[in-house]
Structure 1
Amino acid sequence: MYAVIQTGGKQYRVAQNDVITVEKIDADVGAAVSLDKVLMIGEGPSVSMGAAVAGKVVKAEVVEQTRGPKIIIFKKRRRQNSRRKNGHRQDLTVLKITALPAA
């Protein structure tokens, strides 16, 4: 059995006991989180989506709060003696899926 959820503007296909990395969710390590944006639930060849999954919730546990790799943004305008260097690290949350809704 699996479900497709949406969090942080991205979609994830999850199953029981999966560990996924998503954009930061404000919760402490070990806290239970409810992911209520369920788009699809599937079990074998049967699939439920749309109004059939409205109100369903996927439960997860926060494993850790971490940060992604450093991304370097470098912009240069040639022959203008103009350059700009910037860095970014995305805040991430690692989740373990504990319970899926029934189809």
Structure 2
Amino acid sequence: MYSIIEQGGAQFKVSSGMKIRVPFFDAEAGTEFTIDRVLLAANGDDVKIGNPVVEGASVKAKVLEQEKGDKVLVVKKKRRKDYKRVNGHRQLYTKVEIISIDV
């Protein structure tokens, strides 16, 4: 059984026991929450497609930790003008474990 969910403006294909990294949201580690934005739910040949969401479907998940992604360097340069700037950025993510899928 799997489903496609929307969390933080991004879509993820998930199944029970899976660990995913979603865009950051403020929650303590160990907190359980419910995701109601289920776009598709499939159990073998039984596939339910939402318009835009599947009615009555939900996914239970648990926050594992808050983490930062890899550093991305942003470099600006203008030739012959002695202008150089380097800026770093690390995106924040929330690591989540999928507990169960209810359809």
Please state which structure has a larger fraction of its residues in strand: 2
> TM-score scaled to structure 2, two decimals?
0.90
8 Å Cα contact 2:72/2:89 also seen in 1 = yes
Name the CA shift for 1:56/1:75 in 2 (closer, same or farther; >3 Å). Answer: same
| 1:30 aligned partner | 30
Q: Runs of 4 or more off by more than 4 Å in structure 1?
A: none
Partner of 1:53: helix, strand, or coil?
A: coil
Percentage of pairs with the same residue: 39
Partner of 1:15: 15
Secondary structure in structure 2 of the residue aligned to 1:69: strand
**Could you say what secondary structure the match of 1:70 adopts?**
strand
Pick closer, same or farther for the CA change 1:57–1:80 going to 2, 3 Å: same
Q: CA deviation at 1:96?
A: 0.4
Question: Aligned-pair RMSD on alpha carbons?
Answer: 1.4
Q: Alpha-carbon deviation of 1:55?
A: 4.2
Distance in 2 (alpha carbons) for counterparts of 1:26 and 1:98 = 19
Normalization by structure 1: what TM-score?
0.90
Write the mapping of 1:74-93 to structure 2, written as runs, cut at 5 A: 74-93=75-94
d(CA) in 2 for partners of 1:61 and 1:13?
16
| Structure 2 CA distance for aligned equivalents of residues 85 and 54 of structure 1 | 48
Gaps of 5+ in 2: none
Aligned length: 102
